[in-house]
């Protein structure tokens, strides 16, 4: 199969897969059928296709620019990822189905496993939080077993069919970056932010939970981080406030034909907001289930950041630069929109009942996630370079994540708390670049940049680049060594 043909087919398959995930998440469909879609496009996940592409790349004219060669590599790795997905899709679907239907018994009451994170967020009674968390132990054990099976099977193929010794080497090659060097950079980040974080965290552990550093358990985290301890309310619905924020910046969501918000109430809708870029840039949907919590508006802004990025992606870019980039590139723009809601100037306009302590609390939440993911980068680069995961994983996970966050991370979660393909690296790089972008926007357009049309003109220019540049390359391109 030729390069051009692969791109053409990929665009159609992406549309079908993303539409499927939209329908499932929006509560419009019950049973996932990703396997059938992958089957229909089986040529894309065929190793012969990868071989064809490698041959075609070798036959490129010697003057072919690096960009062209890199585009080939991205397409080749996309085929390899699809090859792995197809080999593990039945296992993954079984795991997903189990997770969706699993139930726990807490104090004589039956609760769907999927609802527990939301319930933990609102639960003020610490003992009950502990019982809820502990009741999930058998489900976590089963999910760990299934996930280990998916990873084992993937590792076998990565070794036998692709020739990489372990998952670390495979993903590092796929991301075209030295992930170990990045992990060491994350180690520096943890050391540099230790003092600030420890002070912030100790304050909020005490204020919200009445506990000290070293006393907080994983089951306290959802309640601690949700902000339910604060009585902050919004002066309107999440969606109206989002639209009004962007309207002040000259972006009218209602007039964007290609970007829709699905905020209809459906019983089976996913409790978490998400963005479905079905056809980039022509059909992008942001799905929300309004619930009234402050953290929801932050999530909605996050997903709309993805939405705007994809909806403003330049249509004339190649399939590679619209679809086959690093996930971290889009996360820069989702974080950028999300953190608008942490700004005092924004809170002044749209929220009530907040104070300086609340602003510091949001800073704490931000630093918590950055440090948690920095520790995950360290953990995953070490763990996935080996294959004795069950032996070393639990202790390493517990130590690294607990030390970085001050919250005890239970060793039993060492495998379920991990996303395929070093998502942790992409998140961390996106945070790093977003911090620089936000600083640049404030310096250039003022601290209330999010209400200024010129700021969005600038952002539109960045969104239009699609996923052409990985996060760190985008930063280098924008600011060189003089990063803000």
> Closer to Zn ion at the Cβ: 310 or 469?
310
> Closer to Zn ion at the Cβ: 334 or 343?
334
Shortest distance in whole angstroms from residue 331 CB to Zn ion: 5
> Closer to Zn ion at the Cβ: 88 or 330?
330
Shortest distance in whole angstroms from residue 452 CB to Zn ion: 24
Shortest distance in whole angstroms from residue 262 CB to Zn ion: 17
> Closer to Zn ion at the Cβ: 219 or 427?
427
> Closer to Zn ion at the Cβ: 168 or 333?
333
> Closer to Zn ion at the Cβ: 204 or 422?
422
> Closer to Zn ion at the Cβ: 133 or 333?
333
Shortest distance in whole angstroms from residue 304 CB to Zn ion: 11
* Residue 329 interacts with Zn ion (CB under 5 A): yes or no: no
CA–CA dist 475, 484 (Å, integer) = 10
Q: Are strands 216-217 and 259-262 parallel, antiparallel or unpaired?
A: unpaired
Task: Using the rule CB under 5 A, give the single segment among 308-316, 332-340, 456-464, 476-484 that binds Zn ion.
Answer: 332-340
Task: Using the rule CB under 5 A, give the single segment among 35-43, 160-168, 331-339, 409-417 that binds Zn ion.
Answer: 331-339
Shortest distance in whole angstroms from residue 201 CB to Zn ion: 24
- 252's CB contacts (< 8 A; 6+ apart) are 246
- CA distance to 222, 232, 242, 261, 447, per residue, from 359 (Å): 18, 11, 19, 28, 15
Q: Are 1 and 43 within 8 A, CB to CB?
A: yes
Residue with structure tokens 């790093």? Answer: 432
Task: Using the rule CB under 5 A, give the single segment among 126-134, 193-201, 228-236, 326-334 that binds Zn ion.
Answer: 326-334
Task: Using the rule CB under 5 A, give the single segment among 72-80, 94-102, 140-148, 329-337 that binds Zn ion.
Answer: 329-337
- CA distance to 249, 258, 263, 321, 442, per residue, from 455 (Å): 8, 22, 27, 24, 9
CA–CA dist 75, 78 (Å, integer) = 5
> Closer to Zn ion at the Cβ: 334 or 336?
334
Question: Closest by alpha carbon to 341, among 299, 287, 398, 384?
Answer: 299
Shortest distance in whole angstroms from residue 437 CB to Zn ion: 15
- Please tell me the total number of residues recorded for the chain in this structure: 484
**Member of 334, 336, 343, 429 binding Zn ion (CB under 5 A):** 334
Shortest distance in whole angstroms from residue 330 CB to Zn ion: 7
CA–CA dist 455, 233 (Å, integer) = 27
Question: Closest by alpha carbon to 21, among 282, 204, 276, 237?
Answer: 276
Shortest distance in whole angstroms from residue 24 CB to Zn ion: 18
Alpha-carbon dihedral of residues 261, 265, 270, 275, nearest 10 degrees?
A: 0
CA–CA dist 99, 107 (Å, integer) = 21
Task: Using the rule CB under 5 A, give the single segment among 33-41, 333-341, 420-428, 454-462 that binds Zn ion.
Answer: 333-341
CA–CA dist 30, 16 (Å, integer) = 16
- 388's CB contacts (< 8 A; 6+ apart) are none
Total residues binding Zn ion (CB under 5 A): 1
> Closer to Zn ion at the Cβ: 406 or 466?
466
Helix, strand, coil in percent for the chain, rounding step 5? 70, 5, 25
- 478's CB contacts (< 8 A; 6+ apart) are 437, 440, 462
Question: Closest by alpha carbon to 261, among 297, 280, 286?
Answer: 286
Shortest distance in whole angstroms from residue 302 CB to Zn ion: 6
> Closer to Zn ion at the Cβ: 329 or 334?
334
Residue 106 dihedral angles phi and psi, to the nearest 5°: -130, 125
> Closer to Zn ion at the Cβ: 50 or 437?
437
Residue nearest to Zn ion (CB): 334
Shortest distance in whole angstroms from residue 246 CB to Zn ion: 18
Q: Are 468 and 476 within 8 A, CB to CB?
A: no
Task: Using the rule CB under 5 A, give the single segment among 80-88, 328-336, 390-398, 428-436 that binds Zn ion.
Answer: 328-336
Q: What is the DSSP letter of 450?
A: G
Task: Using the rule CB under 5 A, give the single segment among 245-253, 261-269, 327-335, 415-423 that binds Zn ion.
Answer: 327-335
Shortest distance in whole angstroms from residue 25 CB to Zn ion: 14
- The contact set with Zn ion (CB under 5 A) reads 334
């Amino acid at each position: 199969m030729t390069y051009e043909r692969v791109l053409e087919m990929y665009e159609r398959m992406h549309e079908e897969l993303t539409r499927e995930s939209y329908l499932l998440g929006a509560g419009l469909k019950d049973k996932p059928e990703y396997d059938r879609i992958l089957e229909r496009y089986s040529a894309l996940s065929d190793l012969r296709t990868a071989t064809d592409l490698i041959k075609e790349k070798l036959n490129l004219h010697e003057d072919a620019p690096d960009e062209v060669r890199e585009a080939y590599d991205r397409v080749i790795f996309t085929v390899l990822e699809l090859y792995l997905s197809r080999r593990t899709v039945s296992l993954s679907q079984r795991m997903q189905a189990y997770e969706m239907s699993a139930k726990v018994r807490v104090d004589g009451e039956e609760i769907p496993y999927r609802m527990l994170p939301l319930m933990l967020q609102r639960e003020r009674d610490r003992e009950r939080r502990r019982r809820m968390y502990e009741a999930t132990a058998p489900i976590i054990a089963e999910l760990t077993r299934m996930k280990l099976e998916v990873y084992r099977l993937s590792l076998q193929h990565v070794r036998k069919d692709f020739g990489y010794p372990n998952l670390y080497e495979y993903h590092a090659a796929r991301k075209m970056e030295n992930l170990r060097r990045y992990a060491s950079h994350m180690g520096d980040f943890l050391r540099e932010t230790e003092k600030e974080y420890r002070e912030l965290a100790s304050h909020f552990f005490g204020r919200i939970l009445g506990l000290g550093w070293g006393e907080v358990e994983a089951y306290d985290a959802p309640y601690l981080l949700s902000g339910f301890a604060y009585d902050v309310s919004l002066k309107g619905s999440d969606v109206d406030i989002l639209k009004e924020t962007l309207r002040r910046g000259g972006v009218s969501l209602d007039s964007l034909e290609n970007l829709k918000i699905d905020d209809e109430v459906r019983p089976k809708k996913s409790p978490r907001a998400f963005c479905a870029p079905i056809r980039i840039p022509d059909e992008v949907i942001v799905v929300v289930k309004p619930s009234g919590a402050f953290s929801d508006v932050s999530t909605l802004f996050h997903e709309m950041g993805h939405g705007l990025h994809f909806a403003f992606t330049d249509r004339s870019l190649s399939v590679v630069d619209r679809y086959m980039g690093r996930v971290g590139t889009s996360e820069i723009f989702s974080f950028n929109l999300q953190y608008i809601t942490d700004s005092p100037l924004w809170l002044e306009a749209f929220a009530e009942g907040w104070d300086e302590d609340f602003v510091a609390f949001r800073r704490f939440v931000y630093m918590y996630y950055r440090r948690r993911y920095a520790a995950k980068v360290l953990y995953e680069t070490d763990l996935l370079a080996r294959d004795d995961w069950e032996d070393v994983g639990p202790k390493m996970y517990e130590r690294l994540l607990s030390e970085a966050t001050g919250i005890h991370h239970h060793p039993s979660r060492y495998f379920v708390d991990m996303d395929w393909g070093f998502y942790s690296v992409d998140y961390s790089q996106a945070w790093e670049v977003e911090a620089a972008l936000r600083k640049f926007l404030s310096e250039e357009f003022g601290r209330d940049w999010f209400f200024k049309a010129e700021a969005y003109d600038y952002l539109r220019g960045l969104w239009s680049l699609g996923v052409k540049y990985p996060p760190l390359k985008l930063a280098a391109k924008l600011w060189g060594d003089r990063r803000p």
